[in-house]
Amino acid sequence: NCPMKNLIPTLLLTFGVLITATETSRAIAPFKKAFEEKYVKSSDNNDFKAAFKKGNCNVCHVQGQKKDWLNAYGLTLAKNIPGSVKERLDKAKAGGAEASKAENEKLLEELKAAFEKAEEAKSPSETTFGAMFKDHKLPTDEGARSVNDPDPADGDASKAK
């Protein structure tokens, strides 16, 4: 029994997981940074800053669920960004570095516009997201669902999870 026999497959698997995790987070990091720049860095509330740091991607996503699960705020942003962000980034990446850079810049501009629209939208608690952020609060998992499930507001609540 050679200990190296098991080490190499383990290292390869670990490396593969790290690469996958890096690729997944690369698409999300600019969105997280844009939110932080717009709402968190300008805040003088240390509890709000700490909550953002702790919540991380869960400002939009739902902890413990697949990344296609978004809370009400994430769903509101998604409605205002055309198409699938992942598919758009994958397609751009296949087109090379320039195409990838251009698509990232386009998505960030769309995200900035989506932030503005989302500020006026009401959260499940009936407070606008803009008022929520001014009160130094972050969205909860209330109203969360997969982006692949029908929107109950579209009248097909029977299929929504």
Give the amino acid at 148. N
pTM: 0.76
Q: How far is CA 24 from CA 27, 41, 98, 146, 153, in A?
A: 6, 24, 19, 17, 29
Identify the CA nearest to 31 among candidates 90, 93, 74: 74
Query: What is the DSSP code (8-state) at residue 144?
Result: -
Predicted local confidence at residue 148, as pLDDT: 87
Cα gap 82→60, rounded to integer Å:
17
pLDDT, tens digit only, all 161 positions of the chain? 555 555 554 444 444 443 333 333 334 688 999 999 999 999 999 999 999 999 988 999 999 999 889 999 999 999 999 998 889 999 999 999 999 999 999 999 999 999 999 999 999 999 999 999 999 999 999 999 998 888 877 765 443 43
Q: Check if the beta carbon of residue 143 is closer than 8 Å to that of residue 72.
A: yes
Q: How long, in residues, is the chain?
A: 161
